[in-house]
């Protein structure tokens, strides 16, 4: 029977994603954590555990250790290798625009494990306050790896929006889209 292990008191629960041993026999466990993306746990010491003793596990957050499949594997069975899937899409719920990130593609391409609240394969990466504030969606581009929206303000002004954060998406951590440029005129070119 294995020895008990305990962590340093943080909420470390997550879904088991991967387990491996290093060449020196050090065990590692990777879990998909609801707040911290991919969490890798490793024992601080490997010496003998005596009755009544426990070992603390060191944590690494936002690691790329959860995915144990090669990037060219099709984990979500949509017919396309995960490394080639589109990372972002845009959706709306009426007044708000959402930039959503494909969680399987993010693991394969970026090495991050986002939280997917509704289990549809996409994390709610960023959102606007509403169409009245920012305007109608024109297009999505990726600029330096960051999703960028072009929207037409109701007063016919073009606005460029980017997320205010670009780290791993945890529970209830949808980023806000902020205006980064107002190039003037309409978005229609």
Structure tokens at 88: 């972002």
pLDDT band at residue 49 using 50, 70 and 90 as cut-offs? confident
Per residue in 114-131, pLDDT (tens digit) is: 878 777 889 888 888 765
Residue bearing the bigger pLDDT, 54 or 87 = 87
Q: Which of 1-15, 63-77, 121-135, 160-174 has the lowest mean pLDDT?
A: 1-15
pTM equals 0.72
11 pLDDT higher than 70: no
Look at residue 2 in the predicted model and tell me its pLDDT: 39
Residue bearing the bigger pLDDT, 113 or 170 = 113
Of 83, 88, 79, the residue nearest 67 (C-alpha): 83
The mean pLDDT of the chain is: 81
Per residue in 61-106, pLDDT (tens digit) is: 767 788 778 888 888 889 999 999 999 999 888 778 889 999 889 9
Q: How far apart are CA 179 and CA 134, in angstroms?
A: 8
Look at residue 35 in the predicted model and tell me its pLDDT: 65
Look at residue 9 in the predicted model and tell me its pLDDT: 47
């Amino acid at each position: 029977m294995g020895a008990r292990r305990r962590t340093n008191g943080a909420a470390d629960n997550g879904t088991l994603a991967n387990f491996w041993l290093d060449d020196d026999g050090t065990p590692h466990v990777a879990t998909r954590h609801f707040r911290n993306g991919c969490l890798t746990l490793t024992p601080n010491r490997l010496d003998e555990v005596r009755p009544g003793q426990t070992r603390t596990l060191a944590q690494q957050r936002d690691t790329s250790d959860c995915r144990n499949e090669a990037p060219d594997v099709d984990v979500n069975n949509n017919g396309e290798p995960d490394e080639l899937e589109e990372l972002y899409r845009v959706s709306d719920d009426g007044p708000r625009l959402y930039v959503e990130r494909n969680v399987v593609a993010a693991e394969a391409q970026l090495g991050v494990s986002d939280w997917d609240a509704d289990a549809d394969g996409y994390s709610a990466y960023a959102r606007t306050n509403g169409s009245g504030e920012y305007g109608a969606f024109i297009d999505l581009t990726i600029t330096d790896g960051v999703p960028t929206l072009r929207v037409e303000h109701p007063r016919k002004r073009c606005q460029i929006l980017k997320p205010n954060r670009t780290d791993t998406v945890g529970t209830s951590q949808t980023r806000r889209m902020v205006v980064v440029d107002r190039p003037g005129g309409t978005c229609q070119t």
